[in-house]
Chains A and B, each alone.
Chain A
């Protein structure tokens, strides 16, 4: 199992600013994942954060908007840049051990952009 601490748990931000979300795992993991959950919607994968290499982004998500850092095997950050109200969502960090294993999630960051 893995315990994931995600900070901040919520924030209200002004449009045009940026917010960095932190994800700390209590054990070393190869891959970490960042998801977005828009209000009342499902989870959509933003990117996979790989240690020692650039993140792999899903279609519709770009590095300039969602830069990701992965300095070591237990930590990652996601930045939401130049925010607009459309970025208001829950952002979740996740880890798993591969194809058939359980995914563990942080408690999410509820972001509101005004």
Chain B
């Protein structure tokens, strides 16, 4: 069965600094997709970034980038120049046949 693990329940970063959130997954599939979603207190799930497993190049979206290590089944999210609005719960997710979420990392941004 596919599983997604986020080993950091909580993280904290100073405004303007960089933080990395960890995610590992387990699968026997070769064709799948990985996502990071953000859930602020409003509860609205927001897509942060997406990675296709068949692409070796790491995805980047403005201040957000990933370090995708397929052999290690690792998919970490780096947030650069952290802003107060980045404070939220971050979920790593895997999708082959269905979307499976990790347990989440609560990110606090200190002014």
Contacts and interface: CB of A to CB of B under 8 A. Distances in A.
Given A48-B98, A99-B95, A100-B52, A41 B103 contact: yes
Given A42-B91, A43-B91, A102-B50, A96 B43 contact: no
Contacts of A99: 31-33, 95-97
A48 B95 CA distance: 14
A102 B99 CA distance: 10
Given A42-B91, A43-B91, A103 B103 contact: no
B101 A43 contact: yes
A103 B33 contact: no
B47 interface: yes
Interface in B66-107: 91, 95-104
Interface residues of B, number: 23
16 contacts: A41-B103, A42-B91, A42-B101, A42-B102, A42-B103, A44-B101, A45-B99, A90-B43, A92-B45, A94-B45, A99-B31, A100-B33, A102-B50, A103-B35, A103-B37, A103-B99
Contacts of B42: 107
A110 B44 CA distance: 12
A75 interface: no
Nearest to B33: A100
Nearest to B44: A107
A17 to B, nearest CB: 23
A42 B102 CA distance: 7
Interface in B33-69: 33, 35, 37, 42-45, 47, 50, 52
A66 interface: no
A70 to B, nearest CB: 17
Contacts of A107: 42-44
A48 B35 CA distance: 20
A105 interface: yes
Most buried by A among B32, B47, B96: B47
B53 to A, nearest CB: 9
Contacts of A43: 45, 91, 101
A108 B43 contact: yes
